[in-house]
Structure 1
């Protein structure tokens, strides 16, 4: 698809209208790669598969499309030019890897559309065949903390010396490459603090990016973002940026989502997106999900219609959710309930 500057304002509203009012985002990506045997014990995390397992990346995208996802998010969350350079690649090779993440997602969409054309098995809620439902490719941008791979993406603590200009410089070329690679929008994910939200907003306002974006924050207390910064203040930054077409929450336990939606609604009328994790806890030191406190798919999905009723327009899953989670979400949504 791709969005020109003239369609930035309408891309999300048109997409949601064509999706029946609620669109479905895909689920956990890195944890799904691991479930298929990928070893992600690497500073590049899921992006290491751009070097070693492109077929697996494509297959996971396809699995989510087959499950009913309307938006697939690229394997670029922890892919940075600086990260690739630290592994011995040139700047040009790092940029090529970023572009590849978008190419693979677009290829998966093309394959899925071809399968739909051949089988004609995708239906709308009133039984009409929908061979080519709208599907967006969102280019993932993880935080500076994700690049550090030290758990600071879950605390937002970058040290007292961190400043706005550094963050803008760190992200600028990466975001520009992703935006020019054919993605439909940029997904600024797991934004941990107000400073990084401001850096993203100012980059968007520079005019170097001609596609829309969403901002998705994370919370560990159900009130603030993980740094302790006010969620409403962070959401106000997103609301004030014309290129931001949706704002919401990801990688946060399901039990917190309803309250967070209510907080976001106080400061924006933009579409609200939510894609929580399974509710399990990630230990950044040992780099493992621990404390089996997550919720089963049936319990996760029981929240979905409430989230939509109170304001969410885009719903999916983050870490430890699977294509089965997304399939269950699709089946519970009134506008998608007749999907196979």
Structure 2
């Protein structure tokens, strides 16, 4: 079966679409070694079959979008292309319509020092655009359905990413990582989301890899400045410690008010780090099955 046949933007106008969950946690559960700066990209390099197995776990849980293992990869065009090819292979055998979203992680992800949760790298927009351009070109050449501009901590970086996309005809979503009603770099969310309001390449905006309690205020901020569909795929409320490369879990499970997120306009829903196939299967049950003929 081919992957989803209609554009993702068209689907979002008709029904809520289910994203996958965290790739890193699923690979870890499969016994993979994620040490080193490439993180999930290391597994993609050494054991692409394990990346395919992780994608398969989410497809079986009902995910309609698989996000590639390209988040922390720099400008290696062969590896970027492989990330799309591996996800595409799973999407074509999933048994239901699946889109492939090519992950474009922030500059801070490639630094592998936790900078994606701070932003403000000391680089201007021109330098950030120059960094992202070859990565985006390589991913687009591999033929994904959409780009996932994700875990963006800084509206300056968002502006650079949008500059690279302008005029390409590509389709993408823009997803910030946020805390306390602001981007991780401290910018007001209304201003951050407004950057994408008039960008024809952007089909949805929202948040990912943040505490679930930060999702609803961010969606409300986005809805106040754009009519684009919204998206939400937070983590489980844990905090990443870049020094020890470990997650610190919350004292109690974070609430996951998906119904409130949907009411606020979220059309793409899923999970990020430490959210596994079981949680995605639960969301699938909550959302109900997608319509036939996707």
What TM-score does the superposition give when structure 1 sets the normalisation length?
Answer: 0.81
Structure 2 counterparts to residues 182-221 of structure 1, below 5 A: 182-205=143-166, 207=167, 209-221=168-180
Which position in structure 2 is the counterpart of 1:141? 104
* Alignment partner of 2:240 out of 255, 258, 282: 282
Separation of aligned partners in 2, 1:278 and 1:294: 10
- Please say if residues 211 and 235 of structure 2, whose CA atoms lie closer than 8 Å, have aligned partners that are also in contact: yes
Q: 1:100 aligns with which of 54, 79, 82?
A: 82
Residue in 1 that maps onto 2:67: 73
Cα distance in structure 1, aligned partners of 2:9 and 2:28: 34
RMSD: 2.0
Instruction: Tell me the equivalent position of 2:114.
Output: 151
| Match of residue 187, structure 2, among 211, 216, 229 | 229
Please state whether the residue corresponding to 1:14 is helix, strand or coil. Answer: helix
- CA distance in structure 2 between the aligned counterparts of 1:95 and 1:2, rounded to whole angstroms: 23
Change (3 A) 1:294 1:190: farther
**TM-superposition CA deviations, 1:234-278 (whole Å, max 9, x none):** 111111211001000000111121111111100010000000000
Change (3 A) 1:62 1:227: same
Cα deviation, residue 311, structure 1: 1.1
1:2/1:182 contact within 8 Å kept:
no
CA contact 2:34–2:42 (8 Å) conserved in 1 = yes
Does the C-alpha gap of structure 1 residues 336 and 109 become closer, same or farther in structure 2, counting only changes over 3 Å?
A: closer
Residue equivalent to 1:166: 127
Partner of 2:11: 15
* Superposed displacement of residue 335, structure 1: 5.2
Ranges in structure 2 where 5+ consecutive residues have no aligned partner: none
Partner of 1:85: none
Instruction: Please point out which of 250, 254, 262 is paired with 1:308.
Output: 262
SS at match of 1:238: coil
Contact 2:84 2:142 in 1 (8 A): yes
On the 8 A contact 2:8/2:99 being kept in 1, the answer is: no
Counterpart position of 2:282: 328
Q: Runs ≥4 in structure 1, deviation > 4 angstroms?
A: 334-337
Partner residue, 1:262: 220
Instruction: Quote the residue 1:246 is aligned against.
Output: 204
User: 1 CA distance for matches of 2:232 and 2:145?
Assistant: 19
Gaps of 5+ in 1: 82-93, 117-131
Q: Is the Cα–Cα contact under 8 Å of residues 79 and 98 in structure 1 kept in the other structure? A: yes
Match of 1:319 in 2: 273
Larger relative helix fraction: 1
- For the pair shown, the structure with the greater C-alpha radius of gyration is 1
SS of the residue 2:93 aligns to:
helix
